[in-house]
Amino acid sequence: MAAAGATADIVSDNPADPGDRVGSFRPGGGIDVDRAVSAARDAAAGYAALPAQARADSLHRAAGRVEARAAELAELVRREVGKPVLEARGEVARTAAILRYHAQAALDPDGDTFPSGDGRSLLMARRRPRGVVGLITPWNFPIAIPAWKLAPALAYGNACVWKPSPFSPACAEALLECLAPELPGPVVQMVQGRADAGAALVGHPGVHAISFTGSVATGNAVARMAVERGAAAQCEMGGQNASIVLADADLEAAAATIATAAMGYAGQKCTATSRVICDGATAAGMRDALVAAVEGLRVEDPAEEACRVGPLISAGARDAAAAAVKRGVEAGGRLLAGGGPLDAPGNYLAPALVEVDDPSAELAQEEVFAPVCALMRADGADAAVELANGVRHGLVTAVFTRDLDRVLDLANRLDTGLVRVNQPTSGVDLHTPFGGEKASGLGPREQGKAAREFYTSLRTVLISPSC
């Protein structure tokens, strides 16, 4: 059943300028999902039968279209989701690179051979497409995340039904315009819509696998529904990422890197730093360096080249973040910087740094998805690891130190899908596996060669001589 309001138009407004309407879109519902799945199913077999080179060529040409429209796409990303223009340009370039990477991966070996029992037969395991895959995406990387699902799905021969976020419908249309003309048929179907359209896609019996990126609560519901009806599920979800600063680190450099990782793009990255765990011996120095670095960040219109922190996606998200900071302070946290809305049009929040003593405090445990970060202290590396691991999430941890021996040890003990040393928690290499542990991720990793695990299934074939 459609949720209340599900049929109202999806309206996309510029988060930096509430008077600037990016567009209005008709939301799809169960019937539209049904139509899209049928069309994808009709196209799937023919597409899967194409030579891999043809699929690779399509993706390369789509990348060319993204590159040709790069400036316009970056403007759209900036305008629709409020991403600082420098990062918006980076996202567009990355989108093209993702398409090209998976175009090439389409030509990788598609299986393995094994010694047969009788020594004469051919025993092999071959990868083949899953069929129709459902893709559900968030708004914060409105073209790169869809690309890192669509590109491998298409490279390995699947047809796709994609439901983008209702906060980034115009970016979704623009990406589809780059892809669709280069594909040999209607193998990418898009349904704009809200939660009801997403749920209809997850529950549709014609969809063989679901790849989801979004919040933990939604991802868990998606995974439950998919598994119940026997569909494969891959869910990449939220984080509560820590940056550990050990006593031997360069505090100024660490603070500058962490401030951007925590507050850049208004903290709206799954890989943003939400907790800084610093060694007790250097806590005072780190506190001062971090406050200075956070206060030095430019919070302004994302159209400005120097902007590092733009608006939140909606007024509701800004107000929820300000309320979380307020609760954090009421619960005993000490506000070191920011926390209030800016006196300007747009959904801006001054980046908030809150010193937190209690590891079970809300700000230490729950993702706010905003420029809000908890500063915590631990006595020594072991205590820091325990604190870093003491949350239900497990996406990424950063460690700042000059001690390589310690890093080798810590990298094994941190229970996150990514560990980054002297680097921001935010940042992803498109050719490496990406995904979280614990509540942050379910199913095979995304990106790089790892993407093949989810978008193909293995068929083991034994061929013996006829006599």
Instruction: Summarize the chain as % helix, strand, coil (round to 5).
Output: 45, 20, 35
Of the candidate residues 15, 30, 169, 238, the single one contacting ligand NAD (CB under 6 A): 238
Phi/psi zone of residue 304: left (φ > 0), alpha (ψ -120 to 50 degrees), beta?
A: beta
What is the DSSP-derived secondary structure letter of residue 23?
E
The H or E element spanning position 388 is: helix 381-389
Query: For residues 369 and 309, what is the distance between their CA atoms, to the nearest angstrom?
Result: 13
Residue owning tokens 């939400």 = 274
Of the candidate residues 14, 58, 158, 165, the single one contacting ligand NAD (CB under 6 A): 165
Determine contact, residues 352/290, Cβ cutoff 8 Å. Answer: no
Query: For residues 225 and 134, what is the distance between their CA atoms, to the nearest angstrom?
Result: 13
* C-alpha dihedral (430, 433, 436, 437), degrees to nearest 10: -170
Q: Is 158 in the site for ligand NAD (CB under 6 A)?
A: no
Query: For residues 185 and 154, what is the distance between their CA atoms, to the nearest angstrom?
Result: 12
Site for ligand NAD in 395-434 (CB under 6 A): 395
Q: Is 194 in the site for ligand NAD (CB under 6 A)?
A: yes
Of the candidate residues 25, 47, 369, 454, the single one contacting ligand NAD (CB under 6 A): 369
Q: Is 92 in the site for ligand NAD (CB under 6 A)?
A: no
Cβ proximity to ligand NAD, 6 vs 388, nearer residue:
6
Residue number with the smallest Cβ distance to ligand NAD: 198
Binding span for ligand NAD by CB under 6 A among 67-75, 232-240, 246-254, 255-263: 232-240
In the stretch 6-35, what mask flags binding to ligand NAD with x, by CB under 6 A? ------------------------------
Cβ proximity to ligand NAD, 166 vs 424, nearer residue:
166
Binding span for ligand NAD by CB under 6 A among 25-33, 183-191, 215-223, 419-427: 215-223
- Min dist CB 164 to ligand NAD, Å, is 6
Query: For residues 26 and 10, what is the distance between their CA atoms, to the nearest angstrom?
Result: 6
Binding span for ligand NAD by CB under 6 A among 234-242, 252-260, 278-286, 320-328: 234-242
- Min dist CB 376 to ligand NAD, Å, is 20
Question: What does each C-alpha distance from 223 to 7, 156, 189, 236, 454 come to in angstroms?
Answer: 25, 23, 22, 10, 14
Query: For residues 3 and 14, what is the distance between their CA atoms, to the nearest angstrom?
Result: 25
Q: Is 202 in the site for ligand NAD (CB under 6 A)?
A: yes
Considering CB under 6 A, how many residues would be counted as binding ligand NAD? 29
Cβ proximity to ligand NAD, 369 vs 400, nearer residue:
369
Sign for the CA dihedral angle at 319, 320, 326, 329 comes to negative
Q: Is 227 in the site for ligand NAD (CB under 6 A)?
A: no
Q: Is 143 in the site for ligand NAD (CB under 6 A)?
A: no
In a 13 Å sphere around the CA of 167, the CA atoms on its Cβ side amount to: 18
Beta bridge partners of 211: 135, 234
Q: Is 87 in the site for ligand NAD (CB under 6 A)?
A: no
Identify the CA nearest to 144 among candidates 187, 101, 180, 196: 101
Binding span for ligand NAD by CB under 6 A among 7-15, 40-48, 163-171, 243-251: 163-171
Of the candidate residues 236, 279, 300, 355, the single one contacting ligand NAD (CB under 6 A): 236
Query: What φ, ψ does residue 74 adopt, rounded to 5°?
Result: -65, -40
**Residues designated catalytic:** 236, 270
In the stretch 241-270, what mask flags binding to ligand NAD with x, by CB under 6 A? -----------------------------x
Of the candidate residues 159, 237, 324, 349, the single one contacting ligand NAD (CB under 6 A): 237
Binding span for ligand NAD by CB under 6 A among 5-13, 192-200, 296-304, 401-409: 192-200
Site for ligand NAD in 118-137 (CB under 6 A): 136-137
Of the candidate residues 82, 146, 157, 166, the single one contacting ligand NAD (CB under 6 A): 166
Cβ proximity to ligand NAD, 42 vs 319, nearer residue:
319
Identify the CA nearest to 2 among candidates 136, 199, 182, 148: 199
Cβ proximity to ligand NAD, 199 vs 246, nearer residue:
199
Determine contact, residues 246/279, Cβ cutoff 8 Å. Answer: yes
Angle at Cα 19 formed by Cα 16 and Cα 22, nearest 5°?
75
Footprint of ligand NAD (CB under 6 A): 136-140, 145, 163, 165-166, 194-195, 198-199, 202, 213-215, 218, 221-222, 236-239, 270, 367, 369, 395, 436
